[in-house]
């Protein structure tokens, strides 16, 4: 077998990446990979993308993204996509790709890597198990957007019977909302996470396939937000879904139905876009957020949250 060399992915690798992916999902996802390759060239501090080369040809790739604050995690890396040419399966290519990601993470001082996989993806889970991944202390929950009619006591106004999204003004997020969102997040967490939030907003507004992030306004001021993005590619997903990265409401605006309005409007918008599901991750000890999401139609996902220490 030819020797495998690990190197950074280049824009010129797009055709080979798309073809390797097509072997596993039986369709072309050129748009997803074109955006990812473009993103890494524009922001090499956030994205890690490596390729495996043999005899001058690309035979595998792995894509990861650095995060600092999403899902309540400290700074870590999310392994988003990885695939090996079927002719090079079971020859250590996948392990070499993970080692390539590890090398970059160690250079950046990161100590862990996270990922998700469906519990029915037996071969993938077996591979992750052999590579040292363990169950992470997080729950992956998702909602079928066809349940947009679903309402809870939090949604309904007892006096008028109106939905929260009808009582609270909710609109699409814009780049001009960055300062207000950072201020709300700082009030909630006590930390300045403006760098993370700027990166998340850039991805949600510029790199997401469709803009779906929302803000709520009260008396002309931003009083809450939900940051979400569209995804068309993680580990063989063949149908579009949305991911919620973070949600926040100004502490002085609590118990006014703002969070309910944001989630309700997001679900309705996604349903209109024919996006079947929205997914997020929650720390297992965050009972209040889990309860809120379950009341709004979320439930357990078939995705498992996994993590491993950087070797």
Beta strands 303-309 and 112-118, pairing class: antiparallel
Express each pLDDT in 267-296 by its tens digit.
Answer: 999 988 888 899 999 999 999 999 999 999
Number of alpha carbons in the 13 Å side-chain half-sphere of residue 111: 2
Angle between helical axes of 178-189 and 194-202 (0-180°, round to 10): 130
Per residue in 53-66, pLDDT (tens digit) is 998 999 999 999 88
Residue 112 CA, distance from chain mean position = 17
Model-level pTM? Answer: 0.80
Residue 200 contacts residue 82 (beta carbons within 8 Å): no
CA 253, 217, 178 angle in degrees (round to 5)? 100
Element (H, E) at 62: strand 57-67
pLDDT tens profile 72-128: 556 788 998 899 999 888 789 999 999 999 999 998 888 899 999 999 999 999 999
Name, in order, each residue with C-beta under 8 angstroms of 12's C-beta and a sequence gap of 6 or more: none
Q: Please give the Cα distance from 184 to 225 (Å, whole number).
A: 9
For the chain, list the domains and their CATH numbers: 5-110 (3.40.630.30), 140-301 (3.40.630.30)
Q: What is the pLDDT of residue 36?
A: 77
Tokens of 164: 């929260």
Mean pLDDT of 226-237: 69
């Amino acid at each position: 077998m030819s020797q495998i060399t690990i190197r950074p992915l280049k824009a010129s690798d797009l055709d080979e990446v798309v073809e390797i992916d097509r072997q596993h999902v039986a369709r072309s996802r050129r748009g997803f990979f074109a955006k990812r390759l473009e993103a890494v060239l524009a922001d090499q501090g956030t994205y890690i993308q490596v390729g495996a080369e043999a005899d001058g040809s690309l035979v595998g790739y792995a894509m990861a993204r650095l995060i600092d604050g999403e899902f309540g995690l400290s700074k870590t890396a999310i392994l988003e996509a990885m695939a090996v040419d079927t002719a090079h399966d079971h020859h250590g290519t996948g392990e070499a790709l993970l080692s390539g990601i590890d090398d970059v993470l160690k250079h950046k001082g990161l100590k862990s890597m996270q990922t998700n996989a469906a519990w029915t993806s037996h071969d993938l889970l077996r591979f992750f198990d052999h590579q040292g991944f363990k169950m992470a202390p997080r729950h992956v929950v998702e909602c079928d957007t066809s349940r947009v009619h679903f309402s809870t006591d939090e949604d309904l106004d007892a006096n008028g019977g109106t939905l929260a999204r009808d009582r609270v003004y909710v609109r699409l997020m814009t780049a001009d909302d960055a300062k207000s969102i950072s201020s709300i997040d700082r009030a909630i967490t006590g930390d300045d996470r403006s760098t993370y939030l700027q990166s998340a907003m850039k991805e949600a507004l510029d790199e997401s396939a469709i803009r779906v992030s929302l803000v709520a306004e009260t008396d002309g001021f931003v009083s809450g937000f939900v940051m979400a993005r569209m995804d068309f590619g993680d580990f063989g997903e063949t149908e579009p879904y949305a991911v919620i990265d973070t949600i926040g409401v100004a502490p002085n605006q609590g118990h006014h139905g703002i969070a309910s309005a944001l989630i309700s409007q997001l679900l309705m918008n996604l349903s209109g876009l024919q996006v079947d599901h929205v997914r997020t991750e929650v720390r297992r000890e965050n009972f209040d957020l889990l309860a809120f999401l379950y009341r709004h139609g979320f439930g357990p996902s078939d995705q498992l949250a996994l993590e491993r220490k950087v070797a």
